[in-house]
Amino acid sequence: MKALITGVNGQLGKALLATQPDGWTCVALDRAALDLSDADAIARVVDAQQPDVVLNAGAYTAVDRAESEPELAHSINAGAPAAFARALGSSGRLVQVSTDFVFDGASGRGYCPDDARNPQSVYGASKAAGEDAAGDAAIIVRTSWVYAAGGANFVRTMLRLMQQRDELGVVADQIGSPTWATGLAHVLWGLAAKDATGIWHHRDAGVASWYDFAVAIAEEAHALGLLARIPAIRPIATADYPTPAKRPAFSVLDVSATRAFLGDGPVHWRSNLKTMLKEEQALG
Q: What's the helix, strand, coil split of the chain in %, to 5?
A: 40, 20, 40
Instruction: Point out the residues that are catalytic.
Output: 123
Going by C-beta distance under 8 Å and a sequence separation of 6 or more, which residues neighbour residue 70? 122, 126
Report the pLDDT value the prediction gives residue 108, as an integer from 0 to 100.
Answer: 87
Q: What is the DSSP track for 72-129?
A: HHHHHHTHHHHHHHHHHTTSSEEEEEEEGGGS-S--SSPBPTTSPP---SHHHHHHHH
According to DSSP, the β-strands at 179-180 and 2-6 are unpaired
Going by C-beta distance under 8 Å and a sequence separation of 6 or more, which residues neighbour residue 78? 126, 127, 129, 130, 132, 133
CA 157/CA 96 separation, integer angstroms = 26
Residue 284 has pLDDT above 90, yes or no: no
Report the pLDDT value the prediction gives residue 251, as an integer from 0 to 100.
Answer: 97
Mean pLDDT of the 161-187 span = 98
pLDDT of 71-96, one tens digit each? Answer: 999 999 999 999 999 999 999 999 99
How does the average pLDDT of the chain come out, rounded?
A: 97
Residue 195 has pLDDT above 90, yes or no: no
Mean pLDDT of the 224-230 span = 97
Q: Which pLDDT band holds residue 266 (cuts at 50, 70, 90)?
A: confident
Percent of the chain with pLDDT over 70: 100
Mean pLDDT of the 116-142 span = 98
pLDDT of 40-58, one tens digit each? Answer: 999 999 999 999 999 999 9
Nearest to 113 by CA among 250, 254, 207: 254
CA 164/CA 92 separation, integer angstroms = 48
Residue 99 has pLDDT above 90, yes or no: yes
The CA distances from residue 171 to 101, 159, 162, 240, in Å, are 17, 16, 15, 8
Report the pLDDT value the prediction gives residue 270, as an integer from 0 to 100.
Answer: 98
